[in-house]
């Protein structure tokens, strides 16, 4: 199967020469995030993503305790390696549970007999990548991120990044970075380490532009690319209603109202809120790709359709007038 070209290319990852699709495929949902997904559904979802040009794929050992990597590996087995980019993450090792032990699912609806162990040592980083390559059935990955080192900042400087840099020099990894849900620590990593790319989840969206304060300017200054995950803030910007998720919990009423007001302006222009939400991050020149998860082929199709739907400049102008995005916030003009 050859990937398609419905979704076009994004911006290159730093100076690596790696060019992702502008819309990427997030591999957490196919590992049963919140709801179970069958093997067949997962494989069909990955194949649909490739058919629609989502040729940048992201996964992690954390997702379903290895299930996402295994399912991606099976789906990609007969796909030409040069036709897609794949990233995974390091910092969590999977270890068998002891007799009578119950490991927390951490939001994934599966019951695999592994527990997640944080390990940002050199041995942990190298071992994590080797185990991921085994689950994926690959000899290399295009990008490796240190995953959620919120409580391990010192370990990133001392052991995790040096290990990743070594793996990059050996050709097992094409680009290295850090992936987190916060902008502040990522900014320090960008300023102090030789990173190619960062993965920022949830902090650069139509509802949250925290990354504009320090992270995005730092990335521009240091030539580091940004992948934006969580552009829908957990689902609120896909369906702004009471009870919708914001990040990983129920959305506060004030944010539900704000998302609904953004949606109303989009609707007046005949544009789905999903289209504006997915396209918004690419208005900033540091952003290479927007990463969105999907648990079914239909969700992939819906995301690709929204991402390629023209958003008139008047939508962004009306959002500014209504005070829903600030005057200094860049937007992707000229896509209509």
Q: Residues with catalytic annotation? A: 63
Q: Are 3 and 280 in contact (CB under 8 A)?
A: no
* Chain-centre distance for alpha carbon 38: 22
φ/ψ bin of 32: left (φ > 0), alpha (ψ from -120 to 50), beta (otherwise):
left
d(CA 214, CA 226): 13
CA–CA separation, 156 and 163 (whole Å): 9
Which residue from 199, 222, 325 is spatially nearest to 333, judged by alpha carbons? 325
**Which single residue is written with the structure tokens 């304060």?**
213
The position carrying tokens 């592994």 is 114
Q: Would you call 26 helix, strand, or coil by DSSP?
A: strand
Q: Which residues contact 13 (CB under 8 A, 6 or more apart)?
A: 19, 20, 143, 175, 196, 197, 225, 288
DSSP 3-state of 293: strand
In whole angstroms, what is the distance from residue 235 CA to residue 278 CA?
Answer: 12
In our burial notation (b when 16+ CB lie closer than 10 A, e otherwise), range 180-219 reads bbbbebbbbbbeebebbbbbbbbbbbbbbbbbbebbbebb
Environment class of 220 (CB within 10 Å of its CB; exposed 0-12, middle 13-18, buried 19+):
middle
* 92 close to 60: Cβ distance less than 8 angstroms: yes
Which tokens sit at 183? Answer: 């902008």
């Amino acid at each position: 199967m050859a990937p398609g070209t419905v979704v076009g290319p994004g911006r290159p990852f730093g100076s690596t020469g790696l060019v992702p699709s502008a819309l990427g495929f997030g591999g957490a949902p196919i590992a049963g995030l919140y709801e179970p997904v069958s093997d067949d559904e997962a494989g069909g979802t990955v194949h649909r993503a490739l058919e629609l040009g989502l040729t940048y794929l992201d996964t992690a050992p954390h997702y379903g305790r290895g299930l996402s990597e295994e399912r991606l590996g099976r789906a990609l087995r007969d796909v030409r390696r040069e036709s897609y980019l794949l990233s995974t993450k390091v910092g969590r090792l999977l270890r068998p549970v002891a007799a009578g032990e119950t490991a927390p699912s951490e939001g994934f609806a599966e019951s695999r007999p592994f527990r997640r162990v944080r390990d940002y040592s050199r041995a942990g980083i190298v071992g994590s990548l080797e185990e991921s390559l085994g689950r994926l059935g690959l000899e290399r990955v295009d990008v490796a991120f240190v995953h959620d080192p919120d409580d391990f900042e010192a370990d990133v400087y001392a052991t995790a990044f040096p290990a990743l840099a070594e793996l990059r020099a050996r050709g097992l990894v094409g680009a290295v970075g850090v992936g987190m849900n916060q902008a502040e620590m990522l900014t320090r990593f960008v300023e102090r380490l030789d990173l190619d790319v960062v993965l920022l989840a949830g902090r650069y969206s139509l509802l949250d532009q925290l990354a504009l304060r320090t992270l995005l300017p730092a990335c521009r200054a240091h030539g580091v690319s940004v992948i934006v995950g969580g552009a829908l803030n957990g689902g609120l910007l896909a369906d702004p209603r009471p009870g919708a998720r914001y990040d990983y919990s129920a959305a506060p009423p004030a944010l539900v109202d704000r998302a609904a007001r953004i949606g109303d302006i989009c609707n007046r222009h005949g544009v789905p809120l999903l289209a504006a939400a997915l396209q918004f991050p690419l208005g900033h020149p540091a952003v290479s790709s927007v990463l969105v998860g999907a648990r079914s082929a239909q969700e992939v199709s819906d995301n690709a359709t929204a991402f390629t739907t023209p958003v008139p400049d008047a939508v962004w102008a009306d959002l500014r007038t209504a005070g829903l995005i600030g005057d200094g916030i860049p937007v992707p003009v000229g896509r209509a």
